Amino acid sequence: MTTAEIKAMATEYIINTYGDRNLAFVKGEGPYLWDADGKKYLDFLGGLAVNGLGHCHPKVVAAIREQAGKLLHTSNLYYIQPQAELAKLLVDNSDMDLCFFCNSGAEANEAAIKLARKYTKDSGRTDAYEIITMENSFHGRTMATITATAQTKYHVGFEPMLEGFKYVPFDELEATEAAISAKTCAILVEPIQSEGGVNIPSDGYLQGLRELCDKHELVLIFDEVQTAMGRLGTFFGYQSYGVVPDVITMAKALGSGVPIGAMLAKREIAESFVPGTHAATFGGNPLVTAAASTTIQTILEENLAVNAVKMGNYLAGGLMELKGKYPIKEVRGKGLLRGLVMEVDAKPIAAKCIENGLVTICTNDYVLRFLPPLNINAGHVEEAVDIVEKSMAEVL
């Protein structure tokens, strides 16, 4: 089928929640994609931080094929060997003790919200249920996580929002402390706000949140849906900042494209979830956990977190070289989560990049966001920067 034929079929039969689209990708290999008409693209969006190993990594493909030939699903009424193995891998590479598996980042954040409330009530603070989140955050599209997402544009048409969330500016400790009350049970924060514009915390901010939570006996939750799995240069993003939360949520790159999410927590907190308090039918089934375990092993064996730092710095440097020629304000980010902040509307530039063969996206109107695979090389970075420059020259 051609792109036009795929688009026509999708338009007729699928609810349009993503707007008009002009691309239909049908093949991927490494950092490259091909559309239904045969055009090749360099993918520096990575399926929105999902394809951390690029497309169709041979080790992951082999693991999926092998597991699909053995067992796809049984439900969590029974023990699942690949699930147990994945849990051990995650615990061994974190400061957490126990895992819960689900299907997405939103579900992982739902689990964290429920766990924080349950643990707080179990601890005797029966009137505490409020969670503080940050302006420009993004935590998911369910009713709880969309309420936790402190961006009103996502709330329109779904009111009333759920009770129990307070919003404060990101990177402002005084505002956060002022919002804490006897009803507060947790603080939920992204180490770097990716969807919100690649917003970076100042030195001491995350440590300050840790200290506030210790002082007021609150649960500190890090939403690492986009920052985990080596992207910032350490396996988990919190390790880049030297601050250990009580609960971590993750998804995106965990399964290299298969739908899986996870919540990790300290034992004392995790044990508030007992049989009957939470569940997920497909959560951590044999197929997705086999894919995730292979993904993690590949990241560790190939030292891809180290490569993320090296290539991320190279990408940032290449983009900054364009600053004198074009209205660029700054390049911000860490590892291979980078934002090119423009002084003009960046949406036409993002569109032109795609037209010229580079997949990227504009967020918050002025930021070109880059989330390439962790195993890219210098040649891929140079190719991407060249396309960005060509696109700017054509648009500006």
Q: Which residues are catalytic?
A: 138, 223, 252
**Which of helix, strand or coil describes residue 170?**
coil
Q: Please state whether beta strands 40-43 and 358-359 pair in parallel, antiparallel, or not at all (unpaired).
A: parallel
Measured distance CA(301)–CA(234) in Å, rounded: 13
Q: What are phi and psi of 142, to 5 degrees?
A: -75, 170
Torsional class of 199: left (φ above 0), alpha (ψ -120 to 50), beta (otherwise): beta
- Distance of CA 3 to CAs 21, 45, 90, 222, 354, Å? 10, 20, 39, 39, 15
Measured distance CA(46)–CA(23) in Å, rounded: 15
**Closest CA relative to residue 377, chosen from 33, 152, 132, 42:** 42
119-142 burial code (b ≥16 CB/10 A, e <16)? bbeeeebeebbbbbbbbbbbbbeb
Residue 59: partners with Cβ closer than 8 Å, 6 or more residues away: 294, 297, 298
Measured distance CA(396)–CA(163) in Å, rounded: 45
Q: Can you count the helices (H) and strands (E) in the chain? A: 14, 15
Q: Name the residue with tokens 């507060």.
A: 184
Q: Name the residue with tokens 């994609």.
A: 33
Which helix (H) or strand (E) is 384 found in, with range?
A: helix 378-395
Residue 241: partners with Cβ closer than 8 Å, 6 or more residues away: 191, 201, 206, 207
Q: Name the residue with tokens 């956060």.
A: 176
Q: What is the dihedral of CA 231, 232, 235, 237, to 10 degrees?
A: -120
- Dump the DSSP string for 95-156: S--EEEEESSHHHHHHHHHHHHHHHHHHTT-TT--EEEEEBT----SSHHHHHHSB-GGGTT
